[in-house]
Structure 1
Amino acid sequence: MNSLIKKWIPWMMLMAVVAACNRSQDVTPQKQLNEYDAKVVLKWGELFLELDRYAPGYRPPVAARAFAYIGLAAYETVVSGTKEYQSLAPYYAGISIPKAEAGKAYHWPTAVNASYLSMMLKFFPHVSTDQKAKINQLGESLFKEFQAETDAETFARSRALGESVASVMFEYSKTDKNGHEAYLNPHPMDYVPPTGVGKWQPTKPDFTRALLPYWGRTRTFAITVEDKVAKPPIEYSSQITSQFFAQALEVCSFPDNYENRWIGEFWSDDIFEQTFEPAARWIAIANQVMIQEKAHLETAVYTYAKLGMGLSDAGVACWNSKYLYNVERPISYINRSINPKWITLLDNTVRKMKGITPPFPAYPSGHSTFGAVAAEILSNIFGYKYEMTDKSHEFRVEFIGKPRSFHNFNEMAYENAISRILLGVHYRMDCDEGLRMGYNVGRKVNAMKWKPVN
């Protein structure tokens, strides 16, 4: 009997080793977030830009807020897959964000895709049937690809995590009564702009009602009430020796040459259905940077969350101050005090209108605020001397979209601000204060506790 046992022991040991080897082949090691590429995030970012272009009511502050919640949901979905960053849940009282189960395997691109698919459908329920189909098609095509990269149990667990976090974040969005679904009523009929000398009123040629006059009440992510208040503008005066007159004179004195047109049209993004709006422009820029850097999933998710929250807070701060001071647009002042025939260089090629002005007060400039917050955040992530060529509108023919090259993000933000003066829709003070406010918001977002304390 002993000899029989001795005979079988080697065989039993060999079978155990083979079985162990087979098991090791069946189990996929848990990969960290930075071991995946950023494709899933970039694909959704590209689709967001298209939806943003055509979604009714998705003008700058609304789009920035949507991108913030969508990006934050993706970040919270996968933050446990990284050792570099931590959840921001402590900043948002009253919500419990689902977490990945300890010791369980997750396929992080699947979780990110599930979060984006769910959130995009929730934030864009009013887009065309074709646009909704594109949302579903992208989500399902990525799911099909990811199913081949992991086992069925891990895939299902990862998808469920993304969907559950998205559901919680969307419910949190709902508690912001002013911001949630504001796209349904962007020009409220109950708002009557204050009258008085130098106060904003709807401008020619279309005299559109005020856009989002109550947006300053929208919930913010990182800034305080004080951060929403711009410094007082230059005191209004029609005297030709006044600072205000000098600001208006500068606007209507710039020559209408190719270089000025190029800068103005390159940064415009004002026209609904022609391009994405000016907040999303910085998403397009971020996409180009991440492609250029071959960024991994960890960096992409972090960048989108941080940039979205910054753009959203910048929109709230800027719009709060616009309707606090109600400074009239240059077109109104110049036509009354300098040149009654002067018009802006901003044309609506979709509606075939010339000389338009955005439908809200001038001070401070939205473009400038968005540009500065984005520059501060992107510089914090990719470096303060990051050089790039912006190809956001390459090959467009309705306007001058020829790429422009820059030495850093701050240079981009400054030119973006100056473009508004060149088009004739802002005073210099609007742009200067917008830049100041935007940089302040950016610093507040950067200072949030994104990384665990060692």
Structure 2
Amino acid sequence: MKIFRLTILSLLTGALMTACNMDLETELEYKSYEFSGIDEDAGNWKPILISSGSELAIDAPSGVASAEFLAEVEGVKSTIASMSGDQRKNVDHWTNNAVLRWNEVALGLIAKYNLIPGPNVDESYTLPNPANPAGPPVFPFSHPPYASRALAYLSVAQYDGMISAWHYKFQFKRPAPYQVDMDIPHAYVSNNLPSYPSEGAVLATVSRKILTAMFPLEADYLKELEEQHLESLILAGENVPSDLEAGKKIGEEIAGIALARAADDGMKYAQSPKAVSDSLRQAAFDRFGWQWENLESPVRPVGLTPLFGKVKMWNVQNVEDTRPPVPPAPGSEAFEKDIKILQDYADNVTHERRRIANFWQDGLGTYTPPGHWNDIAGEYILKYKLNSIRTARTFAYMNMAIMDGGISCWDAKYYYYYPRPIQMIKDFETIAGTPNFPSYTSGHSVFSAAAASVLTYIFPQEGEIFHEWAEEAAISRVYGGIHWTFDATVGTTQGRDVAQYTIDVAKSDGADD
């Protein structure tokens, strides 16, 4: 089986307290490439946050024969003529599909802030506070639910912004400066896209605004990236300044709409007070006669995001519609059978099982399971040479499904409050730590199955390998000793079922017509 390598090769957790700017080392290396198509009708696709591509209004551009436009073209020529070596590197870096680059930025920030807050001297805990992001502890703690949400808002806003950009591109059809003046060198492979408004400017602005809201301590770093990206569009011969201004306007507006939704989606209540967490514990015990116990030392008073299951979903109306069946009761035949399976795995830790457990671990200091699947998606986007709007669409639907899957999973976790193997099997040891939240169902399993399902819809010819990886990710948690086998198998079914809601929406957005 082919195995993907992690994109982020090294991100030391100690860097969290250092300067915000960081160099993200990746293996997703690519250059400007010819798209498999340009989707001239994509401006008519149905967006997610807005009603249509025309909802975000921009002014008509000046004509190519106008003095205003010709002056801009001359300015582009002059700017390119004085380009420095560092500027040339930036042009090469951003390429003609910068959706991938901004996704990499998001993964790097997730990994950088995926550091669990430690105890205070008196063994109490202080939660990260968005009102005081510098902390201590710093905000955010980008655990898997947080990562799934950040990636969903980023990619959805990018996608809607791109639909708006495509709508106006093919309404006005103003050519790029390199097409108007043959003396302007073009740094990228030509895909003959109209240049007004600049889709790159949409991406630069919307990505900077969404990621700044999610990672407020990185505001300066993200602003610098936005400026570098915008400058590269001029230096590449892709755009004139008025193209950028129109794209930035779309980016600002769609980011505002996305962040308004985020402000009211319930995430600010996800990390609930101890009294709320205790009430969920008691409710589960009253229903089922069991309860998960946190075995950390010192004990963290509240599990991870008990109310993430109440956060607003993207494509599911009622989270209870996706809640999985009751897990096996402790002491039941199915439960005792699972104990034997886990004990056998623990007693026979093969090299292959350990490799699988480690590969899909995606723990602290990494970009989490949602990020891992974004990395996988990027590889196939390049393989099939998707254009930037198809790239944004892929990430948007995949990340909505991942987030909805996570919400459904966390609903089940805190509804059933099911204990983990280490709590129920005497002298049991794990090789993958012990997460600070209940067992049923497995988050890795749900995230992975949801992602694999959407990627199979986008790339049906690759579906077999996507589903194999999702199942491997699920069993990895059993090999690691932190989940029951039914956590993984039921979680895989749950992820696929939840993803189908998103796939049904995708099938009706016009992109498949």
> Residue 115 of structure 1 corresponds to which residue in structure 2?
206
Q: Do structure 1's residue 374 and structure 2's residue 463 form an aligned pair? A: no
Instruction: Give 2:391's match in structure 1, choosing from 269, 290, 300.
Output: 300
Aligned-partner Cα distance in 1 for 2:170–2:149:
29
Using a 3 Å threshold, how does the CA distance of structure 1 residues 416 and 230 change in structure 2: closer, same or farther?
same
Question: Do the aligned partners of 1:228 and 1:316 also contact (CA within 8 Å) in 2?
Answer: no
Residue 200 of structure 1 is matched in structure 2 by: 292
Counterpart of 2:312 in structure 1 is 219
Q: Is the 8 A contact 1:384 1:408 kept in 2?
A: no
How much does 1:236 deviate?
Answer: 2.3
Q: Distance in 2 between matches of 1:377 and 1:70?
A: 17
2-side partners of 1:309 and 1:287: how far apart?
Answer: 16
Shift of 1:71: 0.9
Deviations 1:25-65 (A, max 9, x none): 9599xxxxxxx966311111111111111223211112111
In 2, Cα distance between equivalents of 1:308 and 1:166: 17
* 1:134 match: 221
Could you tell me which amino acid in structure 2 is paired with residue 210 of structure 1?
G
Cα distance in structure 1, aligned partners of 2:336 and 2:502 = 36
1:50 and 2:139 matched: no
Structure 2 equivalent of residue 445 of structure 1 = 502
Number of equivalent positions:
366
Change (3 A) 1:383 1:54: same
Contact 1:188–1:210, Cα closer than 8 Å, also in 2: no
Q: Name the aligned partner's letter for residue 66 of structure 1.
A: A
Structure 2 residue aligned with 1:402: none
Correspondence for 2:329: 235
* Cα distance, 1:343 vs structure 2: 1.1
TM-score under structure 1 length normalisation: 0.75
- Which of 368, 379, 382 is the matching residue for 1:291? 382
Query: 5 Å matches for 1:313-328?
Result: 313-328=404-419
Structure 1's 363 and 416: CA in aligned 2 closer, same or farther, altered over 3 A? Answer: same
The 3 A distance-change label for structure 1 pair 117 and 162 is same
Q: 1:171 aligns with which of 243, 260, 263?
A: 260
Secondary structure of 1:376's aligned partner? helix
Amino acid at match of 2:398: L
- Equivalent residue number for residue 425 of structure 1: 482
* TM alignment of 1:55-74, pairs within 5 A: 55=113, 56-74=140-158
Aligned residues: CA RMSD: 2.7
- Give the secondary structure class of the aligned counterpart of 2:226: helix
Task: Give the TM-score taking structure 2 as reference length.
Answer: 0.66
SS in 2 for 1:385: helix
How far has the Cα of 1:157 moved from its partner?
1.0
Alignment of 1:65-84 (within 5 A): 65-82=149-166
Larger deviation, residues 370-379 vs 251-260: 251-260
How far apart, CA to CA, are the structure 2 residues paired with 1:421 and 1:153?
A: 55
SS of residue paired to 1:360 = coil
Contact kept? 1:228, 1:320, Cα under 8 Å: no
- Counterpart amino acid of residue 360 in structure 2: W
Residues 292 and 417, structure 2, Cα contact 8 Å, conserved in 1: yes
Task: Give 3-state SS (helix, strand or coil) of 2:476's partner.
Answer: helix
- C-alpha separation in 2, matches of 1:385 and 1:305: 19
CA contact (8 A) 1:100 1:161 kept: no
Once the 2 structures are TM-superposed, how far is the Cα of residue 229 of structure 1 from its aligned partner? 1.2
Q: Which residue of 2 aligns with 1:338?
A: none
Shift of 1:429: 0.6
User: Which among 429, 444, 463 is matched to residue 343 of structure 1?
Assistant: 429
1:159-195 deviation line (CA, Å, top 9, x unaligned)? 111111101210121122x21x46xx74643322626
CA distance in 1, matches of 2:362, 2:260: 31
Distance verdict in 2 for CA 1:206–1:227, change over 3 Å: farther
Q: How far apart are 1:378 and its partner, in Å? A: 0.6
Out of 235, 244, 249, the residue aligned to residue 155 of structure 1 is 244
Q: Which residue of 1 aligns with 2:230?
A: 143
1:312 & 1:453 partners in 2: Cα distance? 23
Give per-residue Cα distances to partners, 1:309-352, cap 9 Å, x unaligned: 111100110000111111100000002xxxxx321011xxxxxx
Measure the CA separation in 1 of the matches of 2:152 and 2:303. Answer: 24
Percent pairwise identity: 25
Q: Which has the higher contact order (CA 8 A, sep 6+)?
A: 1
Give the equivalent residue in structure 1 for 2:491.
Answer: 434
Kindly indicate whether the alpha-carbon contact (under 8 Å) linking 2:271 and 2:307 is maintained by their aligned counterparts in 1: no
Q: Distance in 1 between matches of 2:321 and 2:510?
A: 24
Task: Report the CA distance shift for 1:291/1:100 in structure 2 as closer, same or farther (over 3 A).
Answer: closer
**Gaps in structure 1 of 5+ consecutive residues:** 1-19, 29-35, 84-98, 336-340, 347-355, 387-406
Verify the 8 A CA contact 2:165 2:198 in the aligned structure 1.
Answer: no
The question of 1:312 aligning with 2:394 is answered no
